Amino acid sequence: MAEAHQAVAFQFTITPEGIDLRLSYQALFQIYLSGLRSWKKRISRMRNRVIKGVYPASPSSWLFVVIAILATMYMRSDPSMGLIAKIQEHLPISLSLSVQGQTMLSVLVFSTLLWLSLILTLRFCLKLLLSYHRWMFEQHGHISTTTKVWVTLVRLLSGRKPLLYSYQTSLPCLPVPPIKDTLERYLESVRPLLSGPGFQRMTVLAAQFENSLGNRLQRYLKLKALWATNYVSDWWEEYIYLRGRGPIMVNSNYYGMDFLYVTPTPIQAARAGNTITALLLYRRKVNSEQLTPSRVPGTVIPLCAAQCERMFNTTRTPGEETDLLQHWQDSEFVAVYHRGRYFRLWVYKAGRLLSPREIEYQIQRILDDPSPPGPGEDRLGALTAGDRVPWCAVRKQYFSSGVNKRSLDCIERAAFFVTLDDEEQGMMGEDPVGNLDRYAKSLLHGKCYDRWFDKSFSVVVYKNGKNGLNAEHSWADAPTVAHLWEFTLATDAFQLGYTEDGHCKGEVERSLPPPQRLTWDIPVEVQEQVSISLSVAQALADDVDCHVFPFRDFGKGRIKKLKISPDAFIQLALQLAYYRDRKTFCLTYEASMTRLFREGRTETVRSCSTEGCAFVKAVESGEGPEHCRRLFRLAAEKHQNLYRLAMTGSGIDRHLFCLYVVSKYLGVESPFLTEVLSEPWRLSTSQTPVQQLELFDMKNHPDFISLGGGFGPVADDGYGVSYIIVGEDMINYHVSCKHSFSETDSHRFGAQISRALLDLLSVLTPAKTENPQAQDKKQQ
């Protein structure tokens, strides 16, 4: 906006009498206000750097140390043991100061050094405390004295209200597990999936790897762990995400949904106004670091917040061999797509965030704009949905200068991307189940050209007021985006709200300039590539089979009464469902976080265990209830232990992945690593955590239930399953697979999941206790 103001801030003409200069004081004032906002943000960032730089101490503690040293000096005691006198002797300006001044300056220097030493000591102690993970392996209700003391010390050292990034320098680094332990855990994980000869062959390969190449690769990995903040994250981001040359739509990006039962307003522009405002309020909290750091639920243990840094003003740009994540410090506008046209919508005026009503007013202007798309403009977004190399070539040749570069910069530098969709979505009409499935597919891929899949996230607002988002995966994992989306939904519905007629609250300044229509010069060659990318993306989108369903028979409340982990219960139900669906077991991926460590991302929990398979076979063969319950307890405890190991840095797959990367750098081949990393994950699962329960009033507003989100299948012949545990009595599932593989069906697998959940509850409930469905019928 400042650029536009500068263009009209002053005008001059050359006359015979000289130069006639005319100033626009109003424009200059607007420039002044915009600059003032920028300087306030700079000062705020400097202030936050100081506060988090001295955490767990406070800046005011420096004054306390100085006063304490001065007080002891006044009492004729030298706490420095002669250091103050030594400092005084070496002061370069000693001749220009009095003796008293020299002493005071020496005290200040010593106090500052002492204060910095105390800060480093406190930070080191906090880092040691946060490296303790035995608490996670202790049974619920049986906490050791060591853990109790540890909790007390952590509370003492982290008692001050921290900023978002205050804990970053105190978080431990991810440790490299012993290669022997990783190989033992790997072999244990594949034991139920391999035949006797197959398992023997893998055992031999693992032993050969450990005794030859493995230890050499391990040494390089340990060297990296000493040097880097996290020995996994940079390689994981580059090789798993950014180096992928296929479409990121469906294969990498994921989605998040609106409320299940409620649409706060049916007015599209109003919902967009509140949604955009809520997202920008979250960005303000991130930028000012006023967002409370995430913690392990029910504890004081902080989680790494590094993923928040690239949440806004970020885009993924294509490259020939690898893509690049670009992040800008700030952006005062969002990019909007509607009916094949792109707009730049300024959301600040003179340093002031527009009100929700003003943003609604601007969105309505876009909706009412009758102008048609330019040649080749309407489907331009398909370039981000297709293969990456052609998009890179087109971008480099046709979008590196001129009007195309200026318009592309507006999209890529925007805070985020907004699509105003002409369709209506949600659980509605005569076919609510089918409509939920279509809603999921719309958010996952849309029309393949009406989203900008390269943006860190794109918000979709539908014609009937429903919304959702599509997120690019390389910059962050689902829990980070889920935290943002929870805040957005809660702020939209409970904080900002709507008027009785469904419009946003607030006043409108009618003098707001209209949203800026982006212009393009799309040659025939680009249009041809757009058509090719669209055909690739459309084939991928048509192949995805999605099924979303809420499971309402019971939830975590009923499961926890049985003293069982809800996640273990759900994962074992998935194993039972898959066995019934495909008559076999498969390598199963469950995403676990490693954010207990600095810059941690995810680790794999291999949920298909020997104990779990034994339980499933016992249920299917009709074994007695007591025997099945005993096997279930063993399988659930095994799963919980695997999850804890993954969270605390002792997982399997990230370690083996990094060893594989090192082998490629060294130019050596490992038959063992090649085979391990080529194994398909035919069942890929992930739980979307509810992290901010305090934002939702489930007692007074029980209908405001989140649907969670989902992702596409990882393997062509497998399933992708995402689930969210909502409240005490509901679990929402998102199931995906591909039509092209005839043996998978998302609806059939969804039915198997529901059946497995009910069967597990029946097995675990003693015979004297009636089934909850039977109790409900009696009450009715």
Q: Would the pLDDT of 532 be above 50?
A: yes
With residues binned 3-state (H G I as helix, E B as strand, rest as coil), the percentages for the chain, rounded to 5, are: 50, 15, 35
Structure-token pair, residue 13: 């003409």
Place of tokens 């750091």: 293
Question: What are the CA-CA distances from residue 460 to residues 423, 469, 515 (Å)?
Answer: 11, 6, 18
User: For residues 290 and 182, what is the distance between their CA atoms, to the nearest angstrom?
Assistant: 39
> What pLDDT was estimated at residue 779?
46
What rounded mean pLDDT belongs to the chain?
Answer: 91
Candidate ranges 88-102, 119-133, 690-704; pick with highest mean pLDDT: 119-133
Q: Cα separation of 733 and 248, whole Å?
A: 23
The Cα–Cα gap between 564 and 577 comes to: 19
Please tell me the predicted confidence (pLDDT) of residue 41: 74
Classified as helix, coil or strand, 333 is: strand
CB distance 333 to 416 below 8 Å: no
| Structure letter (DSSP) for residue 492 | I
pTM, two decimals, is 0.90
How many residues belong to the chain?
Answer: 780
147 within 8 A of 135, measured Cβ to Cβ: yes
Q: What is the pLDDT of residue 697?
A: 73
Q: Is 732 helix (H, G, I), strand (E, B) or coil?
A: strand
Enumerate residues 6+ apart whose C-beta is below 8 A from 420: 268, 272, 336, 337, 338, 363, 366, 367, 461
In DSSP terms, which residues pair with 684 in a beta bridge? 589, 720
Closest alpha carbon to 2 in 25, 40, 29, 39: 29
Q: Are strands 417-420 and 333-338 parallel, antiparallel or unpaired?
A: parallel
Question: How far apart, in Å, do the first and last CA atoms of the chain sit?
Answer: 63
Is it the case that residue 153 has pLDDT exceeding 80?
yes
What is the C-alpha to C-alpha distance for residues 758 and 239, in angstroms, rounded to an integer?
40
Amino acid 278 reads A
Average pLDDT value for residue range 109-121: 90
Give the neighbor-by-neighbor strand order of the sheet with 588-593: 544-551, 730-738, 719-726, 683-687, 588-593, 602-606
pLDDT for 43 beyond 90: no
Tell me if 332 sits within 8 A of 348, measured CB to CB.
Answer: yes
Least confident among 21-30, 89-98, 479-488, 608-617: 21-30
- Banded pLDDT at 53 (limits 50, 70, 90): confident
Is the pLDDT assigned to residue 437 strictly greater than 80?
yes
* Dihedral (CA of 107, 108, 111, 116) sign: negative
How crowded is residue 410: how many other Cβ atoms within 10 Å of its Cβ?
18
pLDDT band at 19 (very low <50, low <70, confident <90, very high): low
Q: CA-to-CA distance for 10 and 23, rounded, in angstroms?
A: 4
pLDDT band at 369 (very low <50, low <70, confident <90, very high): very high
Per-residue pLDDT at 778 exceeds 50? no
56: preceding bond cis by omega (within 30 degrees): yes
Residue type, 69: I
Percent of the chain with pLDDT over 70: 93
Positions marked catalytic: 473
Three-state secondary structure call for residue 688 = coil
Q: What pLDDT is attached to residue 1?
A: 37
Instruction: Identify residue 595 by its one-letter amino acid code.
Output: R
3-state secondary structure 12-81: EEEECCEEEEEECHHHHHHHHHHHHHHHHHHHHHHHHHHHHHCCCCCCCHHHHHHHHHHHHHHCCCCCCC
State residue 228's pLDDT score.
93
CA gyration radius, the chain: 30
Averaged pLDDT for residues 255-280:
96
DSSP 440-481: HHHHHHTTSSSS-TTBSEEEEE-TTS-EEEEE-SSS--HHHH
Lookup result for tokens 């889920």: 482
For 745-756, the pLDDT digits (tens) are 999 999 999 999
The region of weakest confidence among 99-108, 440-449, 574-583 is 99-108
Confidence label for 555 from pLDDT (cuts 50, 70 and 90): very high
Bridge-based pairing state of the strands 333-338 and 341-346: antiparallel
Q: Give the C-alpha separation, 765 to 37, whole Å.
A: 61
| Average pLDDT rounded to a whole number, residues 335-362 | 95
Question: Taking 60 as the threshold, does the pLDDT of residue 263 lie above it?
Answer: yes
Q: Is 398 within 8 Å of 404 (Cβ atoms)? A: yes
Provide the greatest CA pair distance for the chain. Answer: 107
User: What angle is formed at CA 677 by the lines to CA 687 and CA 208, rounded to 5 degrees?
Assistant: 130
Q: Which amino acid is at 406?
A: R
Say yes or no to pLDDT of 363 above 70.
yes
* C-alpha atoms less than 13 angstroms from C-alpha of 519 in its C-beta half-sphere: 3
Q: Pairing relation of β-strands 417-420 and 457-461?
A: parallel
Residue 633, φ and ψ in degrees, nearest 5: -60, -40
Q: For the ranges 53-57, 580-584, 766-770, which has the lowest average pLDDT?
A: 766-770
Dihedrals φ, ψ of 336, to 5°? -125, 135
The pLDDT of residue 80? 78
Q: Is the pLDDT of residue 160 over 60?
A: yes
Nearest C-alpha neighbor of 107 from the set 97, 122, 121, 95: 97
Q: Is the pLDDT of residue 2 over 60?
A: no
Q: Of 742, 285, 298, 720, nearest to 491 (Cα)?
A: 285
